[in-house]
A and B are shown apart, each in its own frame.
Chain A
């Protein structure tokens, strides 16, 4: 089955920083890649689908890109409400595998 990896597993950043999170699929998944944000005690929130399309209502400081089996989530200017765990997810196969997550916390 398709495995998803993310790097880094965690990072510390300051408000206003540009943050980049990488997700890699173990095989080609085209752009069947979604990004979610999860805060403590809450369900995940869809940020991006199709690797680069922003979900309605999500701030434009979030963006996604793809290069082969590598996918990137970028937050252009980190805001206080962005400290959370970010997950990628492939929707290419039935397992809809999630990555292990990247925790973004305050430096």
Chain B
């Protein structure tokens, strides 16, 4: 059974750097076509994908946040770390990590989707 859990600070000051850790079990990030993504949701708002790290260490970032976001993995610890610089009050949100895998249904190129999610961690940016 796949589980994920986010951890990190609940309060961050403006201009500071946010570091969140996603600890997971039930899969390995060295397995082909698997990955972990970070998604956030501002209060009462829609979802925004920040980026994804894949089994082969390929990383894909949301272009609108690319200069601020870094995602790394520690396969031996089953952890993925999100780093987001220059935090602003508009970055106040619940941050989720989620497992993604490439689904194959006769497609030559797999279709990726987030099939297991952590419960999220609320991060407030305020002075």
Contact = CB atoms under 8 A, between A and B. Distances in A.
Interface of A: 1, 31-32, 34, 36, 42-46, 49-50, 53, 55, 87, 89, 91, 94-101
B55 interface: no
A95 B117 contact: no
Interface of B: prevailing SS: strand
A28 to B, nearest CB: 14
Contacts of B117: 43-45
B112 interface: yes
Interface of B: 37, 46-49, 51-52, 60-64, 96, 98, 103, 105, 107, 111-115, 117-120
B47 A98 contact: yes
Given A43-B120, A53-B105, A91 B46 contact: no
Given A43-B118, A87-B47, A101-B46, A49 B63 contact: no
28 contacts: A31-B111, A34-B111, A34-B113, A34-B114, A36-B114, A43-B119, A44-B47, A44-B114, A46-B114, A46-B115, A49-B103, A49-B115, A50-B103, A50-B105, A53-B103, A55-B115, A87-B47, A89-B49, A89-B113, A89-B114, A91-B111, A91-B113, A94-B62, A95-B62, A95-B63, A96-B52, A96-B62, A101-B46
A46 B119 CA distance: 14
A44 B39 CA distance: 10
The SS class assigned to the A binding surface is: loop
Contacts of B115: 46, 49, 55
